Amino acid sequence: MISFRAVYVIVLREFKRFFRQRGRLLTTIARPLLWLFIVGSGLTKIVEPGSKGSYMQFLLPGVVGMTILFSSIFSTISVVWDREFGFLREMLVAPVSRVTIVIGKLLSGTSLSIFQGMALLVVAPLVGLSVGAVKLVVMFFLIALVSFSLTAFGLFIAARLTSLEGFNVIMNFIVLPMFFLSGALYPVEALPGPLRWLTYINPLSYGVDSFKHVLLPEGARLGAEFSMTLDVAVVCAFAVVMTLLSAWAFERR
Amino acid sequence: MPIIEVRDLVKSYNGLEAVRGVSFEIEEGETFGFLGPNGAGKTTTISILCTLLSPTSGTAVVNGYDCMKDPKGVRSSIGLVFQEVTLDNELTAYENLKFHCYLYNMQRSVAEKRIDEMLEVVGLGPRRNDFVKGFSGGMKRRLEIARGLLHRPKVLFLDEPTLGLDPQTRSHVWHFIEELKKREGSTVFMTTHYMDEAEICDRIAIIDRGRIIDCRSPEELKSSLRGDTVYLETDDDQAALKELSEKLGLEARRIEGGGLALIVESGEKVIPRIFSGLSTGVRSVNLKRPSLDDVFLHLTGREIRDVEGSGTDRPVRGFRR
């Protein structure tokens, strides 16, 4: 049913494309650093005048979440891209099942996001956070889980998107609100009522919160707001639902 | 047993019938052509045979596999070259071919050998590690044809394989297809709206408005016309038509867009008679030996390029990438 050689080659292709598109590579490196060091240092002065750096620490888990979100959604847009430029047809007439193609896209999107999310942890010492081996391993699994669920979510959207124009709409109405309302930039509790509720139904909030649990020092003024169990449970549920939905959306075509 | 068997195929989109009851058979090793204007139903039929579309009714069997019941069997028996380029520009020629081999579950050693061999045949051996985005239209086509044949398909489908290429590149690509056919011995099913390209086929089905109008070898189709075609431009087509029939006993027909066409046994002998016999002014005369263009005209009353005139896909395609 599932052809592993086909899955392998689909993943290989996405990695080659990622490292060859210089602009994309540079953007993925620059975007989180811009948020962390430019937006971060500016806002630190407003959030807590006098103190040094702890808002930037608060920002790191959020920026990891953002990087994964953007990377996952971007990589599934390659399905739309492939459709637009005909390459999808090469895959659709091959003697492999649709499930094989979905798994290939899911794994490539997930692993690209893991790679980018983990790479970002390199800057943790620059904002004064120490990330030891244990924390790295825990982060790896959490990042993998969140990446997987967001890639499945992206695939579900991409399956219904027929043109690249639709991508801008997705960016502005789904991806950016998801980022802003995920507790990445400000604590959920600080938001006014309706926005707080939107944050509660945003699965990314729980992913970002789980990163806060691991990365932020205990007893920090700004820290995690939900329990770790709730975080992992919500992200797992989201991953399962989105995988089923995206498989369904592809089979239907 | 024929390698492709199609019975009463019908495909409608929202009540509009694109294919209206098409039946044909193709023998193994044959080169079979679908000839017709844009929108005649060629691509729809090919898409059904390649399992990309399901028909509204009718059956299609490829290499013994039913296109609806066993799409996977069909897909492993066929190679495809689409109208549009379906290569990955960000990959090299070699990587595009390797992707294909893995998708078709070919063994690594077999795949490597086959890739080398096919790159050599289409003359892209020296460009094997170059990115496809730097390739010309003709090179991309050749690479796609090489890719379509990598897994040694029983049938190679070529949907307008030379669409959007300049005449020189077109003949170049055809040269490769003929070479490859000789080497690989596969059955070829092609569609085209260029008459000269259809002439390399063993058999041609002329398709118009979703129906097959005639299906024979190019020679038979041409000889069915029994003679030459004389094209006339006159001052008054209506009057000339009447005069030709009443005074000279010649049956002419009007062409869409102005002018007359007559099919006669010997053009050289008829032209002087037309000049001496007609009182309506003749502005130009053109004599043509039978070609498939004339066959199409004869069968449908339209020239293939008239129908094509409204088609915008060709120039636009060129700018798409």
* DSSP structure string for B63-125: TTEETTT-HHHHHHHEEEE-SS--S-TTSBHHHHHHHHHHHTT--HHHHHHHHHHHHHHTT-G
- Contact B75/A86, CB-based, under 8 Å? no
Interface of B with A (CB under 8 A): 50-52, 72, 75-76, 78, 80, 82, 84-91, 95, 98-100, 102-105, 321
Using a CB-CB cut-off of 8 Å, the residues of chain A touching B72 are: 95, 97
CATH of the domain at B64: 3.40.50.300
In the predicted structure, residue B316 carries a pLDDT above the cut 50: no
What pLDDT does residue A7 have? Answer: 93
Q: Are residues B237 and B209 in the same domain?
A: no
Chain B residues within an 8 Å CB radius of A7:
none
Q: Quick check: is B233 in a domain?
A: yes
Do B162 and B272 sit in the same domain of this protein? no
* A11, A93, A98, A103: best to mutate for the B interface, most B CBs within 10 A: A93
Greatest mean pLDDT range, A222-231, B59-68, B116-125: B59-68
Which member of B78, B85, B102 has the closest CB to residue A86? B85
Q: What is this model's ipTM?
A: 0.83
Largest Cα–Cα separation, chain B: 76
Per CB-CB distance under 8 Å, the chain B contacts of A21 are 90
Q: Residue B5 has what pLDDT?
A: 94
Domain end marker among B192, B216, B240: B216
Inside any domain, residue B193: yes
Preferred mutation among B51, B103, B150 to probe A, highest tally of A CBs within 10 A: B103
For chain B, the first-to-last Cα distance in angstroms comes to 42
Do B131 and B245 lie in one domain? The reply is no
Instruction: Kindly give the pairing relationship between strand B203-208 and strand B211-216.
Output: antiparallel
Inter-chain touch A85–B86, beta carbons under 8 Å = yes
Q: Which of B216, B240, B255 is the last residue of a domain?
A: B216
**B8 found inside a domain:** yes
B280 vs A100: CA distance, rounded Å: 70
Three-state SS at B13: strand
Q: Which of residues 124-183 of A touch B (CB under 8 A)?
A: none
> For B3-16, what is the mean pLDDT?
90
Distance CA B67, CA B140 (A): 29
Closest CA to B155 of B22, B60, B29, B33: B29
What's the pLDDT score for residue B265? 77
- Residue B319 has what pLDDT? 36
Residues B185 and B278 in one domain: no
Cβ–Cβ under 8 Å, residues B195 and B292: yes
Say if A202 is an interface residue toward chain B (CB within 8 Å): no
My answer on whether B108 and B245 are in the same domain is: no
Cβ of A95 within 8 Å of Cβ of B51? The answer is no
* CB–CB contact B91 A16 (8 Å): yes
Select the residue of B52, B86, B103 nearest A9 (Cβ to Cβ).
B103
We report the CATH number of the domain holding residue B232 as 3.30.70
Q: Give the mean model confidence (pLDDT) for residues B42-51.
A: 90
Q: Smallest Cβ distance to B75: which of A20, A21, A95?
A: A95
Q: Over 70: is that where the pLDDT of B262 sits?
A: yes
Given this model, what pLDDT does residue B310 score?
Answer: 40
Boundary (domain end) residue, out of B195, B216, B237: B216
| Contact criterion met (CB < 8 Å) for A93 and B52 | yes
Q: Does A94 touch chain B (CB under 8 A)?
A: yes
Model pLDDT, residue A52: 56
Q: Give chain A positions within 8 Å (CB) of B104.
A: 94-95
Residue B251 shares a structural domain with residue B210: no
Say yes or no: A19 contacts chain B, CB-CB below 8 A.
no
Rg of chain A, C-alpha, whole Å: 18
* pLDDT score for B264: 81
pLDDT at B306: 56
The Cα–Cα gap between B253 and B177 comes to 37
Whether B221 is in a domain gets the answer: no
Q: Are strands B31-35 and B203-208 parallel, antiparallel or unpaired?
A: parallel
My answer on whether B195 and B238 are in the same domain is no
Residue A12: which of B110, B101, B140, B116 has the closest Cα?
A: B101
Q: By the CB < 8 Å criterion, does A92 face chain B?
A: yes
Q: Where are the domains of chain A?
A: 4-252
- Is the per-residue pLDDT at B240 higher than 80? yes
Is the model's pLDDT at B78 over the cut of 90?
yes
- Given this model, what pLDDT does residue A235 score? 94
User: Number of structural domains, chain B?
Assistant: 2
Query: Residue B36 in contact with residue B193, Cβ under 8 Å?
Result: yes
Judged by CB atoms closer than 8 Å, whether chains meet at A85 and B98 is answered as no
Q: Are residues B77 and B131 in the same domain?
A: yes
Distances (CA, A) of A157 to A106, A125, A167, A194, A241: 13, 36, 10, 25, 13
Query: Could you tell me what percent of chain A has a pLDDT over 70?
Result: 96
Which of the two residues, B199 and B7, has the higher pLDDT score? Answer: B7
For residue A60, what are its two tokens? 């790191």
pLDDT at residue B175, as a whole number: 81
Q: Which amino acid is at A23?
A: G
Same domain, residue pair B154 and B74: yes
Chain A closest-CA separation from residue B102 CA (Å): 6
pLDDT at site B312: 34
Give A60 to chain B, closest Cα distance, Å. 33
Q: Do B85 and A8 touch (CB under 8 A)?
A: no
Residue at token pair 């399992």: B51
| Backbone dihedral angles phi then psi of residue B211, each to the nearest 5 degrees | -130, 150
- Same domain flag for B193 and B158: yes
- Decide if B57 is inside a domain: yes
Residue B320 lies in a domain: no
State the Cα angle at A197 between A194 and A199, rounded to 5°: 115
Test B51 with A93 for CB contact under 8 angstroms: yes
Q: Which of A103-107, B195-199, B263-267 has the highest mean pLDDT?
A: A103-107
What are the distances in angstroms from CA B145 to CA A165, B76, B195?
A: 31, 16, 21
Phi and psi at residue A187, in whole multiples of 5°?
Answer: -65, 145
For the stretch B238-246, contacts whose Cβ atoms lie closer than 8 Å and that sit 24 or more positions apart, written own/partner, are B239/B280, B240/B278, B240/B280, B240/B282, B243/B277, B243/B278, B243/B279, B243/B280, B244/B274, B244/B277, B244/B278
Residues A248 and A217: beta-carbon distance below 8 Å: no
A10: closest chain B residue by CA: B99
HSE-CB of B34 using CA atoms within 13 angstroms: 31
Residue B297 lies in a domain: no
> In terms of DSSP H, where are the helices of A34-97?
40-47, 54-84, 87-92
Domain of residue B236 covers 226-289
- Judge whether A86 is closer than 8 Å to chain B, CB to CB: yes
What is the model's pLDDT at position B314? 34
CA-based nearest distance A187→chain B, Å? 42
Same domain, B265 and B129: no
- Which residues of chain A fall below pLDDT 50? none
Contact B105 A3 (CB under 8 A): yes
Residues B273 and B188 placed together within one structural domain of the fold: no
pLDDT confidence band for B313 (50 / 70 / 90): very low
At B288 the pLDDT is 80
Helices and strands (H, E) in chain B, number of each type: 13, 14
Where is pLDDT greater, at B307 or B142? B142
